[in-house]
Amino acid sequence: QKEVEQNSGPLSVPEGAIASLNCTYSDRGSQSFFWYRQYSGKSPELIMSIYSNGDKEDGRFTAQLNKASQYVSLLIRDSQPSDSATYLCAVPRGRDDKIIFGKGTRLHILP
């Protein structure tokens, strides 16, 4: 099993709808989880972090964490064309300081 897995997409969502992005991880010792957004030709930027089970909301973004199922997701409400990007899930390993990234999900918001 890969350490961090994401569906590569592309995921196409109509403007104004909810985009749902998923990520699974293998290290049960991981304590923090991050979502990064990467526009084409740019470097990744942090958009959400989550540390405990449940939901965390920040504006149009909601991160959801289920440690028992080793699953973290990102919901984007009222999707905008500017949300079109690749979204990377990142999970620092529990046993060392390495930060492992998923391959990313390409999101395309349809105008």
60 binds another protein (CB under 8 A): no
Q: Is 40 in the site for another protein (CB under 8 A)?
A: no
Q: Which of 95, 94, 49, 93 is nearest to 72 (CA)?
A: 49
Asked if 6 and 25 count as a contact pair (C-beta separation under 8 A), the reply is: no
| Candidate segments 9-17, 28-36, 52-60, 67-75, binder of another protein by CB under 8 A | 28-36
E strand or H helix at 110: strand 105-110
Largest pairwise CA distance in the chain: 44
Is 44 among the residues that bind another protein (CB under 8 A)?
A: yes
The reply on whether position 62 binds another protein by CB under 8 A is no
Closest approach of Cβ 4 to another protein, in Å?
9
Contact residues for 43 (Cβ-Cβ < 8 A; gap 6+): none
Q: Given the rule CB under 8 A, which residues bind another protein?
A: 8, 32, 34, 36, 42-46, 49, 88, 90, 92, 96-104
